[in-house]
A and B are shown apart, each in its own frame.
Chain A
Amino acid sequence: MMNVIAWIEDDSDALAPVMDPLIERGFTFKKFRTYQQAIDNITTLRHCDLIILDLILPPGKSADTDDDDYLGIKLLRRLRDEFHVKTPILIFSVVAHANDVLPDAQLTKYDVRAEFKPIRQERLMRTVHELIGLPFEPD
């Protein structure tokens, strides 16, 4: 059965090489580049096996948001609190941002894991497999 990952990241083109080993192992990706694109596709997110989420997201064309760089945080809150999306979520962001704006308490509250860029692929793959509940063997 194909495992589907929703990747909410505006720079997924530049970061595409990160996900190559997962693609080679049969994972498919649905990409969303803005906050609004993610909001418009809640049903898809709900049915994915994992959501990988960056904290810095642009708003998107029709988004009604404040001038906030950390729309990933806002999206996380809405996914859990408003839309009750239970899909496992992996925050994949830059270290400084995560420490500043998403303390450990919030990671626990929203039941999310966090990994920080730059990351070695094996570590990322191990975390992805764990969150989806799949066994992992390194190459």
Chain B
Amino acid sequence: MFSPEAREIVKDVLDLFAQASDLPIAMYEVGADGKMSEVARSEDSAFPLHCYAIWKLNGGEGRKACNDNMCSRAKAGFGVPTQETMLCHAGLTVSTDPIFVQGKVIAVIVYGAYVVLDESDRAFRLARHEQAMKILKATTKEAAHIKHLLLNETEQGHKAEWDWLHKTLPPIIARLIEKYILHTEREKRIQRLAYHDVQLRLQSALSLAENVSRHIKKETYPNMKRVEEIDYVTGAIEAAGTVMHNSSRGQYLPENYRFSYHTVYSFIKSALMMCRQEAREREIEFDVDLEPESGHFKIQASDLHLQQAFNNLFQNAVKYSYRRPALKPGETVRPYRFISVRGLPHRDQGELGYRISIGNYGVGIEPDELDKIFTEAYQGRLTKAEYRTGSGQGLDLTKRIITKHGGTIIAQSEPRGESVEDGSRPYHTVFTIWLPAKQSAD
């Protein structure tokens, strides 16, 4: 459960606790082999002289016996979902506190003090001490010295402090571990899925290039076909680049936005080139209608960033489109599948800009998720059954880029049409972006 990095963090937390409280503390977990083992412990300097003296017994066997005993205490505490107080083998009062993460006990912390809980404690404590001295083969002198240390230390504990620790320590450690573990696991998953996405696109580009090469060698492609297929290769490489930027959350895009004038059509054309290959396989066509004609409307944009945003939107439109279904009995024409792209100049609160909508027909977004989908790593519920293999980073980055341009983006999604063969209900989903024609002076 705990990686080496997590163990370092836990140790730092335990050291902090030990420094502040003067109480030795350790954390234990049940490993994959079912055995209790130590995750981390505070530095030895937190342990009292009584413990040091026991450790020295029998050529250091005392320390081994001590560690084994702590594991047993942890194991006893692991099976009980509440705090337990007990004595260690040599008479130290020990508390075992389970650490819950998402409702499950994932570890136990064990910390000790010489607090005397009540008068019957003392006799029991001394009996434990006698037993330990026999097991560890202490000489009479050694046993007397250790008993002196035990009795000396025992007077120093404070019950009120002990009770306060019980209440405050476990929740703090649990919160810290939960945040760390959940954050780490989430990050690992995002990285894994992002890596998968990137490799997938690289594979596509590599294979497209190999196909072109093979057909050119065999002279089975006429010239125009070669040009067309090479365009698919470049598009696939651009798709890989788009996914790479998503996986890094845009960190490797230029930090500064450099604005210059570009036609809206230039971004749309590049995005279309990027996703043509996958659209071809899914038999989806693009229906593009931009005003004024050919979309010559110009906007001030940071081209690398805005292209990333458009690439993401087009890539998603293709990815979440349903494939053209096969012919049904009696049909002679297969139902059309297309992605619609509409654009026209539009004033938003008096400011001139350009509005573009990208609509597709396929996996939808539920009403309560229309804002959430722009959150990092969020994946819509309806995508999970069939389209889980994205990293969930694209729309978050897209929205940040659009916002940085002073623009807006919204999503709409409604069920439309009859069910397709696998029982899923198709949705018409539209992303609408508005971008200002000019950037403000600042």
Give the distance to chain A from B216, nearest Cβ to Cβ, in Å: 12
Chain A 62-75 interface mask (CB, 8 Å, partner B; 1/0): 01000001000000
CA distance A66 to B89 in the complex (A): 43
Instruction: Select one of B195, B211, B218, B277 contacting A94, CB under 8 A.
Output: B195
Assess A58 versus B389: contact at CB under 8 Å? Given A16-B281, A97-B196: yes
Whose C-beta in chain A lies nearest to the C-beta of B188?
Answer: A100
Instruction: Give residues of chain A (73-127) contacting chain B, Cβ–Cβ below 8 Å.
Output: 94-97, 117-121
Chain B 193-234 interface mask (CB, 8 Å, partner A; 1/0): 101100111111011101100100110000000000000000
Give the distance to chain B from A134, nearest Cβ to Cβ, in Å: 19
Chain A 22-59 interface mask (CB, 8 Å, partner B; 1/0): 00000000000110000000000000000000001011
Assess A121 versus B207: contact at CB under 8 Å? Given A13-B281, A15-B200, A21-B214: yes
**Do A10 and B211 touch (CB < 8 A)?**
no
Instruction: Select one of A15, A59, A61, A69 contacting B193, CB under 8 A.
Output: A69
**Do A139 and B214 touch (CB < 8 A)?**
yes
**Do A56 and B389 touch (CB < 8 A)?**
yes
Check: B386 CB closer than 8 A to any chain A CB: yes
**Do A96 and B204 touch (CB < 8 A)?**
no
**Do B282 and A60 touch (CB < 8 A)?**
no
Instruction: Give residues of chain B (149-198) contacting chain A, Cβ–Cβ below 8 Å.
Output: 189, 192-193, 195-196
Check: A14 CB closer than 8 A to any chain B CB: yes
Give the distance to chain B from A132, nearest Cβ to Cβ, in Å: 20
Instruction: Select one of A11, A20, A59 contacting B200, CB under 8 A.
Output: A11
Whose C-beta in chain B lies nearest to the C-beta of A70?
Answer: B192
Check: A131 CB closer than 8 A to any chain B CB: no
CA distance A120 to B202 in the complex (A): 11
CB neighbours of B210 from chain A (8 A): 17, 21, 120-121
**Do B423 and A61 touch (CB < 8 A)?**
yes
Interface size class of B (residues with CB under 8 A): 20 to 34
Instruction: Select one of A58, A69, A117 contacting B386, CB under 8 A.
Output: A58
CB neighbours of B278 from chain A (8 A): 13-14
**Do B207 and A20 touch (CB < 8 A)?**
yes
Check: B422 CB closer than 8 A to any chain A CB: yes
Check: A4 CB closer than 8 A to any chain B CB: no
Check: B388 CB closer than 8 A to any chain A CB: yes
Give the distance to chain B from A55, nearest Cβ to Cβ, in Å: 9
Whose C-beta in chain B lies nearest to the C-beta of A139?
Answer: B214
**Do A13 and B282 touch (CB < 8 A)?**
yes
CB neighbours of A33 from chain B (8 A): 386
A contact residues vs B (CB 8 Å cutoff): 10-18, 20-21, 33-34, 56, 58-61, 63, 69, 94-97, 117-121, 139
Q: What are 25 contact pairs spanning A and B, CB under 8 A?
A: A10-B386, A10-B387, A13-B282, A15-B207, A17-B208, A18-B207, A20-B211, A21-B214, A34-B385, A56-B388, A58-B386, A58-B387, A60-B385, A61-B385, A94-B195, A94-B196, A94-B200, A95-B199, A96-B192, A97-B192, A118-B202, A119-B203, A120-B206, A120-B210, A121-B207
B contact residues vs A (CB 8 Å cutoff): 189, 192-193, 195-196, 199-204, 206-208, 210-211, 214, 217-218, 277-278, 281-282, 323, 384-389, 422-424
